[in-house]
Structure 1
Amino acid sequence: MNNEIIIRKMALTDIDAVMRVEKESFSTAWTMEIFYQELTENPHAHYFVIEYNGNIVGYAGLWIVFDDAQITNIAILPSYRGKKLGERLFQHMMHHALIHGVCRLSLEVRQSNIVAQKLYRKFGLVPGGIRKHYYTDNQEDAIVMWVNIK
């Protein structure tokens, strides 16, 4: 196979595949209804999927409000990690934010998720604070990371 990678806007018809990624990636998964609302009712939401050889293997979401952007989530199926797909998807999200006039980008990441933190640091994000007991499944703290991109 040629390992074709495509990143495109998420469509409503992608939600089932995105739910597979969501459930395999997070202990507290979003529901189908949340994704549906994000795609149909949130004017600030921008969601993308990444396809690998025609299969959706990851997705990412971003809210853009004026010149601020917040990554809501980013996930790659565990069996496809280590192929730099998360890096490609994150780069796409940053580029999308830039062309929409964003000056600052932020996100929350689990304190224990060192792999994700390393990825975000590659793109210039730095820790800016802690959200105590942010994650409801185990009360783990979140590190708020941010970067000025303009």
Structure 2
Amino acid sequence: MSQTLSFRYMEEKDLDEIVELEHKCFTVPWSRDAFFNELYQNQYATYFILEEEGKIIGYCGAWLVIDEAHITNIAILPEFRGRGLGEALLQKMIDKCREDHIERMTLEVRASNTVAQSLYKKLGFQDGAIRKKYYSDNQEDAIVMWVNIE
């Protein structure tokens, strides 16, 4: 990773840039209000951002509940993909979960998103189940993946 990359917790001042990133990465992007609620209403939510020279290029969010973590979102701007940044970001969240004594982590991924599935498998995730017609934009199935991180 470049020396100009840094991780930090998401803050309210980041929300406009995060929403812009959402629109570049997802067909059904989260709203600014959704992120605001994650930051200020959801006691279980933890969000990291990844910056390069002060510009937000990715983020990862999770709900940490008792001994399990559920990844809510992970995104890297399209022009920064293929550099191992998604892996670094997810590893940052896994490290935080280990610090918080989280034992397991789960996420959903589009059945067609083989690039993301490969990343998750590289970090030890395994297929757990299928959620039929999970994604509202095209009714695509989601693969539920799990990893023990203790």
TM-score with structure 2 setting the length: 0.97
CA positional deviation for 1:54: 1.6
- What is the aligned partner in structure 1 of residue 138 from structure 2? 138
Counterpart Cα distance in 2 of 1:99 and 1:14: 25
Report if aligned partners of 1:131, 1:144 keep a CA contact under 8 Å in 2.
Answer: yes
Q: What letter is aligned with 1:69? A: A
Counterpart Cα distance in 1 of 2:33 and 2:54: 25
Counterpart Cα distance in 2 of 1:58 and 1:6: 11
Counterpart Cα distance in 1 of 2:12 and 2:83: 26
Q: How does 1:87-102 map to 2 (within 5 A)?
A: 87-102=87-102
CA positional deviation for 1:10: 0.2
Q: For 1:70, what is the secondary structure of its paired residue?
A: strand
Report if aligned partners of 1:3, 1:53 keep a CA contact under 8 Å in 2.
Answer: no
Q: For 1:119, what is the secondary structure of its paired residue?
A: helix
- What is the aligned partner in structure 1 of residue 112 from structure 2? 112
Q: 1:72-128 CA deviation, whole Å, 9 max, x = no partner?
A: 000000011111111110110100111111001000000000010000011100000
Q: What letter is aligned with 2:22? A: E
Comparing 138-147 and 52-61, the one that deviates more: 52-61
Unpaired runs of 5+ in structure 2? none
Q: What letter is aligned with 1:28? A: V
Percent identity reads 49
Counterpart Cα distance in 2 of 1:30 and 1:99: 28
CA positional deviation for 1:21: 1.1
CA positional deviation for 1:65: 0.5
Report if aligned partners of 1:9, 1:47 keep a CA contact under 8 Å in 2.
Answer: yes
Report if aligned partners of 1:69, 1:105 keep a CA contact under 8 Å in 2.
Answer: yes
Counterpart Cα distance in 1 of 2:27 and 2:12: 23
Total equivalences in the alignment: 149
- What is the aligned partner in structure 2 of residue 86 from structure 1? 86
- What is the aligned partner in structure 1 of residue 35 from structure 2? 35
Unpaired runs of 5+ in structure 1? none
Comparing 131-140 and 48-57, the one that deviates more: 48-57
Counterpart Cα distance in 2 of 1:57 and 1:149: 26
Counterpart Cα distance in 1 of 2:38 and 2:22: 15
- What is the aligned partner in structure 1 of residue 49 from structure 2? 49
Counterpart Cα distance in 2 of 1:70 and 1:55: 26
- What is the aligned partner in structure 1 of residue 18 from structure 2? 18
Counterpart Cα distance in 2 of 1:14 and 1:35: 10
Q: What letter is aligned with 2:62? A: L
